[in-house]
Structure 1
Amino acid sequence: MSGRFPDLQIRPWQQADGPACQQLIVSVLKEYGLTPDLDGVDADMLNVDQHYRQAGGEFFVVYRGEELLGTAGFVGLDAQRCELRKMYLAPSARGLGLGRHLLQLIMMQAKTAGYLQMQLETASVLKEAIRLYEQNGFTPSCQALHTDRCDRVYQRTLNEWNA
C-alpha cells in the first residue's frame, strides 16, 4: 500500500482470511470485556461472500506481512443504507491513523456502491472507536440495536462526504 502505510497491505477478504479475522475479533472483544459470538454474529467472518458481498457490501483486511492487523466491512441494509461492521484493529495497529484510513476507505467504497447513508452499532466501552466515528461525522441514532453486545447506534450521510 502506498502513502502513509507503505508496509501494509489492505485488500478485500479472501476465504483463507476467515479464521485469522475471527481470532482478531475475539481477541479485541475480550480485551474490552465483550463476549464474542462465534455461532452467531461473529460467524460471518467465515463466509464474507454470503454475509457481505451478496448483500451489496465488501470486507477488507489489513496485513503487515503475515500478521493480520485490522478488519472492516460494510453490508447493504436497503437500496440507500449500509452498515459498517467488524472494524477492529490489533493493539499494535492503534494510534497510527490506520483506523481513520480504514474507515474512510469503507465510506468511499460504500458511497461508490451507491449508498447514501451508513450506520453502525458499537459498545460504550469502545471509547477510541466512538471518538473516531464522531470525528468522522457519525452522530447518535435512535435505530434499533441488532447485536446484544452493542448499546449505541450511529449514522452519517455519505452523499455529501468527500474523501
Structure 2
Amino acid sequence: MRQDSPRSSRRARSIGCVCSPSRCPTVRAEPALTGAGPVIAPADRADVPGVIALIGRVYAEYGFVFDPPVEVPDLLAFERHYEPPRGAFFVVRQAGSIVGSVGVERLDGTTAELHRLYLDAPLRGRGTGRGLVEEVLAWCRMSAVARLVLWSDTRFEQAHRLYRRIDFRQTGERTLPNDPNQTREYCFERPV
C-alpha cells in the first residue's frame, strides 16, 4: 500500500493471511491495495525513517528515552543486518504510513533472531503481530533456520502473551548496562 514509491513487483499480504503468496487470492501487488486496511509487505532501506518514527511513538507511549543511534543501530546499518541472505525486514502499511514492523537476522547456520516487533497501539491484539511473526517464521523455514530467538523488554507484557501463544518459551533474562531506560529483557525462543 505504499504510495510514495512504486513497487509493482513487490508482493504484499493482507493481515491474517499466512498462505503462500503465489496461491493466495487475497494477496495483490501493492498498488492494488491502496486504500485497503493494514498490509504486511517486505521492507527496504527506504522504509527505515518510517520504522524509526514508529519505534519512537512506541517508546513515547512507554515514557522511554529514544536515541536512534543507541536504540536501533541495526536499522541505521539496514543492509548489514536485514538484506538477504543474512536477514529480512517486514512492515505493516496503512493509509501510507508504517504502523508495524519486524526484522529477522541470521545469527549462525541454524539460528536467527527476531528484532523490532513494534505496532502502533490500535493494531495490537488484532492479529497483526502474529501475522508479522508468521512472516519471520516463513522466512526462517525458507532459509533453513531451525531455531528463532528474541529479546523483549520486560514491560512489553502484551507481546509476551503473543510469544507464548505461538510456542515461544522464556529461556532467560538480562539487564542492559548503562541504559537510560533501565531495560531488563526476557529471552524467548522456539523451534522453527
| TM-score clears 0.5 | yes
Short-chain TM bin: 0.7 to 0.9
Equivalent residues of 2:173, 2:184 under 8 A apart: no
1:73 aligns with 103
Amino acid at match of 1:119: V
Q: Structure 2: state its 5+ residue gaps.
A: 1-12, 18-35
What CA distance in whole angstroms lies between the structure 1 residues aligned with 2:93 and 2:115?
18
Task: Name which of structure 1's ranges 149-158 and 29-38 shifts more when overlaid on structure 2.
Answer: 29-38
Distance 1:127 1:62, change over 3 A: same
What CA distance in whole angstroms lies between the structure 1 residues aligned with 2:140 and 2:173?
19
Compute the RMSD of aligned alpha carbons.
Answer: 2.3
From 80, 100, 123, the equivalent of 2:153 is 123
With the length of structure 1 as denominator, give the TM-score of the two structures: 0.85
Q: Structure 1: state its 5+ residue gaps.
A: 159-163
Task: Measure how far apart 1:91 and its partner are.
Answer: 1.1
1:161 aligns with none
From 8, 15, 32, the equivalent of 2:45 is 15
1:156 and 2:183 are equivalent in the alignment: no
With the length of structure 2 as denominator, give the TM-score of the two structures: 0.73
What CA distance in whole angstroms lies between the structure 1 residues aligned with 2:110 and 2:190?
12
Task: Measure how far apart 1:140 and its partner are.
Answer: 1.2
What CA distance in whole angstroms lies between the structure 2 residues aligned with 1:68 and 1:43?
19
Distance 1:40 1:65, change over 3 A: same
Amino acid at match of 1:128: Q
Equivalent residues of 1:37, 1:43 under 8 A apart: no
2:168 aligns with 138
What CA distance in whole angstroms lies between the structure 1 residues aligned with 2:67 and 2:141?
29
1:112 aligns with 142
Aligned length: 158
